[in-house]
A and B are shown apart, each in its own frame.
Chain A
């Protein structure tokens, strides 16, 4: 069974700083996707970035990038030039089958002015 672990329950940084959120996972699949979702106070689940496991290149979306280490089963999210609007819960997720996303426990990120 797939598992996802986020070991940082809370993080706090100053605006404009860079922050990295950690995620480790376990799966027996060789080919899979990984996702980072953002959940602001509104509770909406917003896809931030996705990574295909068979691609060597780390995914990037504007200020968001990942460090994907397949052998170590590590999938961290880096937020550059952090903004107040980045304040949210962040969830790492791994598909466990059709519509079966397995989520980590989440990291509460606060960006301070």
Chain B
């Protein structure tokens, strides 16, 4: 059982470049989301989706774009990378409904130089 899979695990970008972080889950979860974690801080929500075709903004959405064309996949796009986007990114998923456990991927380390 793969759970939540993120790729790539490590990436170095130049300022202004664009890229996509991939996320896939094989648990048939309705809910998926992206968080970022900066040094010494907890995770902060970027974007989330409650089902295929439905996305919404989280706490820190600026500079990121998402789409959800299938239940399994939820890619995160950086439109024009900035050094402030250097962070560790986590994809997460869960079943819909109150109080269900949220499962996290292993994280993607992104450095923007």
Contacts and interface: CB of A to CB of B under 8 A. Distances in A.
B106 to A, nearest CB: 5
11 contacts: A33-B99, A43-B109, A45-B92, A47-B102, A47-B103, A98-B31, A99-B49, A99-B102, A101-B45, A103-B43, A106-B41
Interface string B17-53: 0000000000000011101000011111100111000
Interface of A: 4, 31-33, 35, 42-45, 47, 50, 52, 91, 93, 95, 98-101, 103-106
Interface residues of B, number: 28
B60 to A, nearest CB: 12
Interface in B48-91: 48-50, 58, 88, 90
B99 A104 contact: no
A40 B44 CA distance: 18
Chain B contact residues, majority secondary structure: strand
Contacts, number: 63
A95 B96 contact: no
Interface of B: 31-33, 35, 40-45, 48-50, 58, 88, 90, 92, 94, 96, 98-99, 101-104, 106-107, 109
A47 B101 contact: yes
Given A95-B99, A101-B102, A43 B40 contact: no
